[in-house]
Structure 1
Amino acid sequence: MQKFIIEGGHALSGTVEIGGSKNAALPIIGACLLSAEKSVLTNVPDISDIYTLLEILQYLNVQSDFTNGTLTLDPSHMENKAIPHELVSKMRGSIILLAPILTRFGEVKLSFPGGCVLGKRPIDSHLHAFESLGAQTSTENDEIYIKCAALTGTDFTMSEMSVTATENAIMAACLASGTSQINLCAAEPHIQDLCYALNEAGAKIEGIGTHNLIIKGVHSLRGLRHAITSDYLEIGTYAIAAAVTGGHIIIKNTNKAHLESFWQKFEEVGIPVEHRENEVEIFPAQSLNAANIRTAVYPSFATDLHPQFSVLLTQAEGTSLVFETLFEGKMNYIFELEKMGAKVKLINNHKAKISGKSQLKGCPVASLDIRAGAAMVLAGLAASGVTEISNINYIDRGYNQLVEKLQSLGAHIQRTS
């Protein structure tokens, strides 16, 4: 099994280019199946989750070619077959196939998806959206079954601001008859990118970037031609990597509006930044201040950046509190940080106290999910000595060329078997 070996204590310097967003690419690939025409996507991240989804599509007889960040999909001969559980169980993101398969074939059966273990992640919000559009749903023997000959637009409210449920609702409503008003939608940048991609293909979506969408159903969509937006979670991760090492880097392909809450906290901690068009420069801080963070739905502080930010807070003077409001199993990385000498205390499944400044020391730790794994990498960069990180398959699911990019910035990191 592969591992990362990191020798910490080296300040990062240089320039790093951010790739396409995984969380945008996955639903947009799903959206390509809404049309029988060929689609071409660019700036697609070269990560394992993309290959897992393409493996599923190959099973459905969707032809694909993925070369140098450009993905061409031909779903003209797509078949509606029961996808093997071993494929679906690899990635929770496979749930975004519900809407495309349902709209193409009038019914869909899918095993409960897998992916990162982050506590309870029910599918009720998905079923509620489909039922609101006129579909019949059922779950039995760990399988989801949805059937509807023709979806009908309506005015409904999401049962929760679930990202993937919102994505399924948007895709289904695009090809429903009539107009849908979807209230309490999630509005993350990757959802906005999905909407823009669909509109480019002929959909009629209004209110993009808000929590209330109006979608006028169309009879059919063209194939998609779209460049995937840059990954704001990757931007935040590299910004923290610079900060915890006392580094000075320039991050290219950025959009400040995607990370307003993050940058506010970043500067509150005391890190100087300079935003320019499509890039941001991170400067070394004289000292770091404690801060409290509370995750919530966009545009609040992103849950997928809180583990990395917690590493930063271990290097700040004073006591910080971290509140994770969305997932109950996302704080377990705290125990890995504790192994490295961080002064941290898990108060409950949603709250942790971090006392700084801690002198982190390298040791063997595990990656528990994508973002917890990224946090361990950042901790290793900040620590003295050598850190060995196992279960890096999680990290590979979310970060494109992480080792190569960090090495280009001067990090001492290697991938070993």
Structure 2
Amino acid sequence: MQIHSNPSKSIKNLKYFMSTFIINGGRKLTGSVKISGAKNAATPILAATLLTRQVCTIKRVPRIKDVEKMLAILASLGASVKWTGPDTVRVDTSKTSTKSLNTGLVKSMRSSILLLGPMLALFKQVSTTEPGGDIIGRRPIDTHLDAFAQLGVTTSLRGERFILRGEKLKSAMVTLKEFSVTASENAIMAAVLLSGITTIKMAANEPHVQDLISFLNKAGAKISWLDSHTIKIKGVKKLHGTTHTVIPDQIEIGTLAVAAGLTKGKIRMKPVVPEHLESIVLKLKQIGFKINLGKDYMVVDGSGPLKAFKFQSLPYPGLPTDLQAPFTVLATACKGESLIHDPMYEGRLGHVSQLVKMGAQATICDPHRVIVNGPKRLNGREFPSLDIRAGATMVLAGLAARGTTTIHQAEIVERGYENFEGRLRKLGAKIKKVDD
């Protein structure tokens, strides 16, 4: 997809093409890097602008493909969307009206599901297909539909399209089936304009959920936390336009920290929110990294000896599942036997076989666990990007490997990382992107 060089240019003229990363490894990464806004915060906040029916200005928005697709969907619904700066987007949703989501765009991006809550709240009906995105195991939308049902929504299937009807939407006590981030966000957005009190139990409290709530409260919502996983929503009649700055991306921070360890480098990252990084910083220190964490910056020094570790992804404040793959390649540089456990998804270990082909000593125990023995020097190979995080992980592997590593479908990685190769190159990496 072509990202417009002119910030004020319309978002509707999206172009798609294939590209490839070519990496010559063995270079130490050093220097400073600016951290982008969090993808997982930007997409729900952009979806939530629908609820205001006014103009919202969102800052620190990452210029990545998933964001561009979300903006394209908003435009297809009648919103006026314009980049007004390098990372600032103006969204006017005063003229949105359609009740049907664009099938092609929905099938290309998992986070398109975040539009269901706002559209139900506004139009009381929405027609959509099941969202697409990365293939990382079964990610059904049952938890979303169950949460909507508790709010009074009925769902029917017409061919491959889901028809959700919300004429009987009402405030309620909602208990989610699992700690689902996007289901929590959808339930919040569906309930924010309902009269009365809605309580959501088993709600995810990841930083991006907190950021969505912060945006909605700025727009006039009345949302509060009763405890770490229970949300209280006092319905309001309407929201208003506002300005909001997206939080820094903790996944990008963790990914770059791994790059420092794999290349024995030292990277300064800014901005950061220290409280969002507690589990990540603790794990990095246990592995052997030296960390200097300031009020809004973090310096990661991976030049020392690194030791084996256990990584288990858990709901926040635990380690995020999106860092499972990067930490798997990090384990190849650590002395001893590391255990990587991702209980959330059963199909998110495809990168392991790619690492083995590069020389890693890794064994998949079951669909959720892998054991890695290190340190093992990796050798450059040629691979496709399997998903956003697996593709980024193979770029990291290429940075550490001998010789040349070629990663096809680089556009998949670019769905989640802004100007990935450019910023790695600024840190000293020898990497280039070639359009196929």
In structure 2, give the amino acid aligned to 1:179.
Answer: I
Give the match for residue 237 of structure 1.
255
**CA contact 2:26–2:401 (8 Å) conserved in 1:** yes
How many angstroms does 1:209 deviate by? 8.0
1:15 to 18, 32, 48: 32
Q: TM-score, normalised by structure 1?
A: 0.98
Give the match for residue 244 of structure 2.
226
Q: Number of residue pairs matched?
A: 417
In structure 2, give the amino acid aligned to 1:40.
Answer: T
Q: What SS is found at the alignment partner of 1:93?
A: helix
**CA contact 2:99–2:125 (8 Å) conserved in 1:** no
Q: Which stretch shows the higher mean deviation, 254-263 or 211-220?
A: 254-263
In structure 1, give the amino acid aligned to 2:383.
Answer: V
Give the match for residue 255 of structure 1.
273
How many angstroms does 1:285 deviate by? 3.4
Give the match for residue 362 of structure 2.
344
Give the match for residue 71 of structure 2.
54
2:329 to 311, 315, 318: 311
Is 1:331 paired with 2:349? yes
How many angstroms does 1:152 deviate by? 1.5
Give the match for residue 122 of structure 2.
104
**CA contact 1:3–1:392 (8 Å) conserved in 2:** yes
For 1:90-129, list aligned pairs within 5 A: 90-129=108-147
For 1:64-213, list aligned pairs within 5 A: 64-67=81-84, 68-149=86-167, 151-207=169-225, 210-213=228-231
Q: What SS is found at the alignment partner of 1:278?
A: coil
Give the match for residue 42 of structure 2.
25
1:190 to 1:208, Cα distance in 2 relative to 1, 3 A:
farther
Instruction: State the superposition RMSD in angstroms.
Output: 1.2
Q: What SS is found at the alignment partner of 2:204?
A: coil
Q: What SS is found at the alignment partner of 2:49?
A: helix
**CA contact 1:295–1:325 (8 Å) conserved in 2:** yes
**CA contact 2:52–2:219 (8 Å) conserved in 1:** no
Deviations 1:36-65 (A, max 9, x none): 111111111000111111221221111100
How many angstroms does 1:137 deviate by? 1.9
Q: TM-score, normalised by structure 2?
A: 0.94
Unaligned runs of 5+ in 2: 1-17
How many angstroms does 1:140 deviate by? 3.9
Unaligned runs of 5+ in 1: none
How many angstroms does 1:81 deviate by? 4.1
Deviations 1:214-242 (A, max 9, x none): 11011100113111111110111111111
Is 1:44 paired with 2:66? no
How many angstroms does 1:177 deviate by? 1.3
In structure 1, give the amino acid aligned to 2:266.
Answer: H
2:293 to 272, 275, 278: 275
**CA contact 1:32–1:224 (8 Å) conserved in 2:** no
Deviations 1:171-206 (A, max 9, x none): 111111100111010111100000000000010111
Q: What SS is found at the alignment partner of 2:277?
A: helix
Q: What SS is found at the alignment partner of 1:207?
A: strand
Q: What SS is found at the alignment partner of 2:364?
A: strand
